[in-house]
Amino acid sequence: MPGANPGKPAPADPQADDQANRRQAYRARLACPMVYQVLQEGRAAGPLIHAHTINISSKGILMRTTQAQELNATIEAQINLPGVQPALSATGRIVRVEEEEEGKWYLIGVSFSRLEPESHVTFLNQLEVLAITELLKELMRAGGSDLHLTTGQPPIIRLKGKLTPLNRPAFQSHQIRASLYSIMSEEKIQTFEKTKELDFAYSLAPEKRFRFNVHWQRGQVEAAIRVIPAKIPTWEQLHVPPVVLDWCDKANGLILVVGPTGSGKTTTINTLIHEINKKRDAIIICLERPIEYVHTNIKSVIKQREIGSDTLSFAEAVKRSLRQDPDVIVVGEVEDAETAQVVLAAAETGNLVFASFHATNTIQAVDRFLNICPAQMRTQVSFQLASVLQGVLTQHLLPKEEAMGGGIVLATEVFVPSEGGKSHIRNGTLSQLYSAIETGGSYGMHTLESSIKKLVQQGIVSEETAQAHLALATQRV
C-alpha cells in the first residue's frame, strides 16, 4: 500500500485510548453469584467460599461474603454473569476489607491481576448490556413509567407522574453512550450518528418492552425510555368514551387521535386496533416508529411495519400499503404535507385510517392538519378532510390526587363531524367547532374542558392541575 511503513507501528490514537480506558473503568452496580478461593503460591489454600458481587468492572469487583479475609491476599474467583456461559474466571488481590453488621457480613474489594483476553472482551460487552438492563428492571420493579438518562445526573424515573432520582451515582456521558450502544445494532448506531435522533423498541423478554428515544443534548448522548405495558389495555381500562369504540365498526374514513407528547395516543390506537382484531376479518397495516405493542392475529391479519427498518417514510409506506389489499391503515405520525395528503387519499379510496399527531384539542388538530399542507392546496384539503373525517379524539393524561391512589387519569375531548361541523371545516370557521362539540352530546361529543371539570368534581384531580390543563383545553387558533 503506498505510504505504508510496515517496520513502524501506527501512531497511537489518544482519543481511542481514552475511550478504551473509560470503558474498562466502567463499574456496574450488579449482584451476581460467585465463588472464590484464597491462593498461596498459586495454589488453592482453602475451601470454595460463596459470595455475591455488589458492583463490578473489568478491573475488579466489590463483593459481600460471610468470611473475613486478609488484605493483599490473592484469590481466584468464578463469577456468574447473567447470560454468560461458562462462568468468568479471574485472579485478583484483596485491596479492601470492611466489616458489616458486627461481623455478619464483610465487604471485600478485589483488584484483578488476571483476566483472559476472551473473558475480558466478554466482560466488557456484558457489563454494558447489564448496566442498561438492570436499570430497566429497576424501573419495572418501582412501577415507573419512564426512565431518563442524563449526563451528570443519576438515572431518573417518572413514578406516578413525578420525577424520582434513583439511588445510584451520576452517569457520565461515555457510560450512557456505552450502555445504549450495547443494545443497539450496528445499523441503528450508524443511523443515530447520522441523524442525531433515534426511536426504537427493545425487549428484555416478550412481556417486557420499552420504547427508547436516544438523542444528543449539548454534545452528549442521552435517552428517554418508556415502559410499554405487557398487554394491550382494554378500552375499559383506558376509560375511552364508548362512542370512540363505535369508530372501530366504520368501513372507511379518517380517525384522528391527538394530544400532547406522552398522552397515550399510541396506546389508545393499539387498543382500538385490538378491538377490530377481535371482532372482524380485516387486513390491518400498522405503520409505526418504533413498533411498541406487538399484535397477534385473532380474526384479522395485522402487518406491523417499522419506519426506518421496514420502509423509508410514513408517506411512502401509506402509498405502498394501498397495493397490499388493506382494510385498515394505522399511521403513527402525520409529520409532513406528503403524509397528510396520502392519508386523505387512503381514506377516500375506501380504507379506515387511524392517524395521530400532536395537538391539544380538536380545533388545533384540524387547523394543524390543514396548515401542514401548502397554502395553495388548503381549500382542496379542507374539502377532503370534511368529507372523510369520522372523528377526533383528543386526550390528556393528568396526575391524580394522592388521596385517590396517585398515578394518572385520562381526560378526553370527542368530536364527531355533523353536517354543521363539516361545513365549518370546509369554510375555515374552525373556532365554531367548540360550540358544535358543546352542543353535540347526543352524538357522544364532549369538550376537554367538561372532562377535566368532571374529574375535579369527583376529587380525582386537583384544582391546580385542572387549571394548567384547562389553559390548553380552551386554546384557540
Domain spanning 131-228 has what CATH number?
3.30.450.90
Collect all residues with Cβ–Cβ distance below 8 Å to 184 and sequence separation of at least 6: 192, 198, 200, 214
CB 334 within 8 A of CB 345: no
Say how far apart CA 26 and CA 34 lie, in whole Å. Answer: 20
* Parts of the chain with a pLDDT under 50: 1-12, 14-25
Say how far apart CA 329 and CA 303 lie, in whole Å. Answer: 10
pLDDT, residue 16, reads: 45
pLDDT tens figures, 93-130:
999 999 988 888 999 999 998 876 556 666 666 666 66
How far CA 338 is from CA of 140, 315, 374, in Å, comes to 39, 6, 10
**What does the DSSP 8-state code read for residue 97?**
E
Q: Are strands 33-40 and 49-57 parallel, antiparallel or unpaired?
A: antiparallel
Say how far apart CA 176 and CA 372 lie, in whole Å. Answer: 36
Beta bridge partners of 74: 39, 93
- Angle among Cα 240, 335, 423 to the nearest 5 degrees reads 65
Q: Percentage of the chain surpassing pLDDT 90?
A: 65
Q: Which of the following CATH numbers is that of domain 235-474: 2.60.40.2230, 3.40.50.300, 1.10.10.10, 3.30.750.210? A: 3.40.50.300
Indicate yes or no: pTM above 0.95: no
How far CA 357 is from CA of 333, 366, 429, in Å, comes to 5, 11, 22
Alpha helices, H only, 322-377: 337-348, 362-371
How far CA 395 is from CA of 317, 410, 440, in Å, comes to 26, 7, 18
> What is the residue extent of each domain of the chain?
28-120, 131-228, 235-474
pLDDT, residue 13, reads: 52
The CATH H-level superfamily of 28-120 is predicted glycosyltransferase like domains (2.40.10.220)
Residue with C-alpha cell 411495519? 305
